[in-house]
Amino acid sequence: MFWLQLAPDTGAVRLWTLDQDGARPLSPPDYRIRSRINGYGGGALCLTTDGPWVVREDTGQVERLHPRSGEPVPVTGDRSDATSERSRYGGLVADPGRGVLAVRERLSVTGEVLDQALVAIATDGTETVLRAGVAEDCLSAPAPSDDGRWLAWVQWRLPAMPWHQSTLWLAQRDASGALRSPRALLPPRPASVQQPSWSGHRLCVLSDHQGWWQPYRVRATGEGSQWSLLSGLRADHGNAPWQLAEQHHLGLPGGGWARVSYHRGEGQLWLASAPEARRRRLADGFTDFRCLQYHRGALYALASSDHRLQSLIRIDLVSDQLEVLAGGERPLTSVVRPQPFVLADAEVCGFFYPAVASGNHPGGSHRDPITPPPLILQVHGGPTSAAYPVLNLATQFWCQQGFSVLDLNHRGSSGAGRAFRQALAGRWGELEVADCLAAVAQLVREGRAHPQRLFVQGRSAGGYTALMAMASADCFRGAVSQFGVTDPRRLCAHTHRFESGYLDWLLGEDRDRWPERSPVNLAHRMTGPVLFFQGELDEVVVPAQTRAMAAAMARAGHDSEVVSFADEGHGFRHHASQAAVLRRSLAFYRNRMAAT
């Protein structure tokens, strides 16, 4: 067994293994594994008969690690000449009998992504381009058939995002592995497709052309393709493909299958041992599942729950017996469990975490807690992402400090079907803000939140929504923005290739209207102070954007503070940074409550 695991003290991702001696880290302590394809990576590890293949973070190159010693052996490599183009890799998939398949990005001297291609990489480092895209093409999810004679993959063209519209492709392979007669297999109507996989000669894929990411068997026909629905369950069976190499469904020997489906944010794992067998739910103590794998009569997955750390699990498919192989620690003696939240008369939902009764008073003492307690509204990123009922230690921290927390899946979130996800088109900064305001108003009416002690916080796109909420209503006493978007026009000019057209979709192609939904232009309307956290290495929301927002607030006479981290990018990975965010945010919230 091999898996990737984050070391919180250093922020490094290392390769771990499970053998007769138990679980242990395999890669060297200073060796970091991570792909940066499309800026968000994915697919930095795959396993072949030669051992684990990984993407080395500092170079973006593919290397093999010795399965016992962890000693790295370079496979791909760029010239060291700083004036030449370079490349980076991700989406690694084993190519039986040949090596691995990968997505390769070619970068200019200045770091600009020039194009992407599907490549085959042999053990000796020989690299063959199988499918070269034009400048606007993005590729993902190479899926070779079990016998190596076919290859399926997903492709989309910018400015579309993969969860808006993408296409399944299929090609035969000759004896050398080269592709012959590649063709697009189009569903009955435009759709987002993802995660092609094979079970014997059966090609399956998730497609949302009927409103949900549901599994289909796809067959190439003389003039097109035939799409057969494998599950009539009206639920998403995957989430937005921000990263490569996701695996939420899996064909099993004998025609059976294992699948994840999402219901109001909760992931459920289901199994059918044969095509016509009755499905049954597995591991119902867990609430999200990723990276499904099958080996010798057992199902493996990375599983999350609302009361323990992420676990590597093994499920015997005969007895359904579950074993936690690694992880799964219970870091807290008392955990606040999420309560389902549904916005009245709407599909909007989320998870409410009530404050602990013995939580600290705003002044720092242990007097009786405020009744009703203060509330922190947490807005997820993306905005095409989602909140899940999984253990979040930061959320637990807030509850222990006497705050209730609401994780909201506003319109535009994934996991609730295509229409709900697409609803945000052209209306970012409006619809999800309205959902946030309606949600906190409902909690106040229900007596679960104090009307004078409401706060909002978010990261990246969630930070943008937090700022827009502060500029749209006077109910919040303050906001915390972690590397939040403040100037969409400037972001559009500097953002990376993957999201180059995303803002036009979110805000609309009429850029004359963007200023009215740009926090930097609405600083005069902010109804309270803002605490900003920013990584100096952030290439998505650059530090100058956050500083410009703070300066605009100062000119408007509003208080703000910027806390910077020199060694962080778009997402804080070091535990010292994460702890500092909690400490400074707690002081900020307490000061705001003490002032009322």
Q: What distance in Å separates the CA atoms of residue 263 and residue 423, rounded to the nearest whole number?
A: 19
Contacts of 109 (CB under 8 A, 6+ apart): 82, 83, 84, 85
pLDDT at 359: 52
- Find out whether 258 and 250 touch, Cβ atoms under 8 Å: yes
pLDDT at 366: 43
**Max CA pair span of the chain:** 75
Q: What distance in Å separates the CA atoms of residue 385 and residue 410, rounded to the nearest whole number?
A: 10
Q: What distance in Å separates the CA atoms of residue 66 and residue 15, rounded to the nearest whole number?
A: 11
| Listed residue (391, 403, 532) closest to 459, CA to CA | 532
pLDDT at 360: 52
Query: 103: buried, middle or exposed (CB in 10 Å: 19+, 13-18, 0-12)?
Result: buried
pLDDT in tens, the chain (596 residues): 999 999 877 888 999 999 888 899 999 999 999 999 998 999 999 999 999 999 999 999 999 999 999 999 999 986 555 567 899 999 999 998 899 999 999 999 888 888 999 999 999 999 999 999 788 899 999 999 999 999 999 999 999 999 999 999 999 999 999 999 999 999 999 999 999 999 888 999 999 999 999 999 999 998 899 999 998 899 999 999 999 999 999 999 988 999 999 999 999 999 998 887 889 999 999 999 999 999 999 999 999 999 999 999 999 999 999 999 999 999 998 999 999 999 998 899 999 999 997 555 444 444 445 589 999 999 999 999 999 999 999 999 999 999 999 999 999 999 999 999 999 999 999 999 999 999 999 999 999 999 999 999 999 999 999 999 999 999 999 999 999 999 999 888 878 889 989 999 999 989 989 999 999 999 999 999 999 999 999 888 889 999 999 999 999 999 999 999 999 988 898 889 999 999 999 999 999 998 87
Q: What distance in Å separates the CA atoms of residue 259 and residue 251, rounded to the nearest whole number?
A: 9
Query: 315: buried, middle or exposed (CB in 10 Å: 19+, 13-18, 0-12)?
Result: buried
Contacts of 508 (CB under 8 A, 6+ apart): 426, 427, 514
Q: What distance in Å separates the CA atoms of residue 237 and residue 415, rounded to the nearest whole number?
A: 8
pLDDT at 367: 44
| Listed residue (179, 192, 50) closest to 124, CA to CA | 50
